Structure 1
Amino acid sequence: MTANDLEGTTGEVNLAARLSELGCAALVDAMGRIHDHRAHILPMVSPDPGRPLFGPAATIAYMPRRDDVKKSSEGFADLFYQAVGEFPAGRVLVLSSGGYPEASHGGGTKLSRVAHCGLAGVLADGRLRDFTQLREQCFSTWCRGESTRWGGDIIMPYAANVAIEFAGVCITPGDYIYADSSGAVVIPSRSLHRVLEIAQMVEDEDSYFLKEIQSEGMPS
């Protein structure tokens, strides 16, 4: 089931807005009731932390730089278009760290392709440059932090549309990504509908217990 399928069954309710209302913690709890693998990512940094990120993952794997590896000659642009495919709108560009989460993956100029292709945003397991420029873009950006130094002498984009390791979590192309100021969660596409249902149950349970606590009498 895709996000579009879900939007069709919930009338005019916007799926991204619904996820934002539930929040990352409820989605992580819901994932834990369905799957036993790690699916949560600790809080990231954003040029605009009030802007959540949601969409199916389009992945690019980074590796430590080598000058003799043929694949590296394709460069970021070629791998970007391979990753997002023929229907890029609404996707999340996910970049692995290549083992160097403090290195920069790029900045506003390189990532202007994200806006040009209508992606929902970027999730980078590394640093990004040009936060001021990225803040003005129409997409959401989450990463390890801001950088001023170019990172191309440390890491290189290596492969598109492959499973990647991201902060201890396995992300495969098509997994749904949700990120906000509290962290991020990776949801297998086939589990999205069920995760939404259970996340709502988690929220309802929390509301019930909150009322129970508020009705408790003070100990004598």
Structure 2
Amino acid sequence: MSKVLVVAVHPDDETLGCGGTLLKHKRNGDGIHWLICTSLEQNHSYYSTREEEISKVGKLYGFDGVHNLRLVTTRVDEYNVSELIGKISSVINLVKPDTIYLPFKGDVHSDHRKIFDAVFSCTKSFRYPFIKKIYMMETLSETEFAPALPDSSFMPNVYSDITEFMDRKLEILQVFKSEIAAHPFPRSIRNQTALATYRGASCGVEYAESFMLLKEIL
């Protein structure tokens, strides 16, 4: 049995990037843990609703652990790097995952890039020997807007067949009501389905999620 940690810079990143794969992990008996990095400030008009959405989504996945750093969303670059690493390291040492799903290092959102750097600093094998696989995930509205340069291009080399879990993934995604809108909004249901269809065609299945493998220790 594996122990999986998905790093969601913002709540809904886990569903956009690897929701179907998380459901597959759960079906296979793996432990799944959700690290939410940012939160709305308590005086935000949507704060209570977002907390309710997070609670509902956690139950729908059946997460074995939900961890929330409660960094201020869109302002992660204001935090000291050492502080970020310390917070993230504490969660990783608590969960001790063998598999980690990370945001893509080239995502256009600065929160994503900052969190990627901090988390990847917490994956050194001599300090975290339990980590065996590290993937970067594709998050619509962030990954596809990265600069069209070789070092910022998402080039998948791992595919996960999520055909069996696609309907459930879309159901969970729609819990985040304020994050979904009609096509051509990037996080539309139509666009999410189109991406899964395209990635599925790349590996011979109906629907798939794709990843970039950064490390695998056999």
Q: TM-score range by the shorter chain?
A: under 0.3
User: Which structure has the larger Rg over C-alpha atoms?
Assistant: 1
Q: Normalized against structure 1, the TM-score is what? A: 0.28
Which structure has the higher relative contact order (CA within 8 Å, separation 6+)? 1
Between Structure 1 and Structure 2, which shows a larger proportion of helix residues?
Answer: 2
